[in-house]
Amino acid sequence: MAAKKKEVALLYARVSTQMQANDGMSLGAQERDLKKAANAAGFTAVEILREEGRSGKSIQGRPVLRAALERLDKGEASALFVTRIDRLARSTQDFLSIVDRAHKNDWRIVMLDLNLDTASYQGRFVVTIMSALAEMERAIIAERQRDVHKDRREKGLKWGVDLGPKRMISDELYSRIVELRSLGMSFAKIANKFNAEGIKTPFEKRWYATTIKKYVDKGDKQIRPGEEAPQP
């Protein structure tokens, strides 16, 4: 006879600077909503899992979520609660793989925004459709952005001349810097963190506290070679 699955709910909260700016869903707010929902569902044993400063583009870049999924598969918990579908996955492929794992290993996914639970066939069907629609919307936005860049090239518009200074790091990385600062991390610690993760800098071989500070102070849009002041 198979061992009984532990009635433990994992409450997964993830946030980036841009997410928080758009909808106000801080980690604290997510945790409060998740605890309330888990208690209402009958779970007295809950565990909060935080994923901070990580991209939602792929689950491969989120070690906390990957570890949670492994625990669920092993029967160490029986449910995964998230506030919104995009906190869990932002691609149909990732989302469907998580749903399939839940179905195969007999654990449930609960998403508060949709008021859906994959323990039911209806919930499984609806969240699959919603995930596909969300990915389609992002693809449409990306296609529009490519059209904008193509139009600029055809018109001969140049960054720094017709369009103002070009952003020197990705929006995602800039948002992560601001998010880590909002969590109280110093410029030096952020630089050390990026160096440890092997994140490349635009101009230098390493990140320095002064470099991070300039990206924040200048909004990342005016740093050019020679402006950085590396520390020995």
Residue 161, classified by CB atoms within 10 Å of its CB into exposed (0-12), middle (13-18) or buried (19+), is: exposed
Residue 78 phi/psi, 5-degree rounding, is -120, -5
What span, in angstroms and rounded, lies between the C-alpha atoms of 100 and 107?
A: 10
C-alpha torsion sign, points 187, 193, 199, 200: positive
CA angle 211, 193, 207 (to 5 degrees): 25
* Cβ contact 30:13 at 8 Å: yes
Nearest to residue 83, comparing CAs of 2, 129, 7, 26?
A: 26
- Cβ atoms of 190 and 181 within 8 Å: the answer is yes
Q: What CA–CA distance (Å, rounded) separates 67 from 58? A: 14
What are the CA-CA distances from residue 219 to residues 101, 168, 175 (Å)?
41, 10, 10
Compute the distance between CA of residue 172 and CA of residue 58 in angstroms, rounded to an integer. 13
> Is 16 annotated as catalytic?
yes
Catalytic-role residue among 16, 78, 131, 175? 16
Rounded Cα distance, 36 and 43, in Å: 10
Strand partners of residue 50? 13
Q: Supply the residues annotated as catalytic.
A: 16
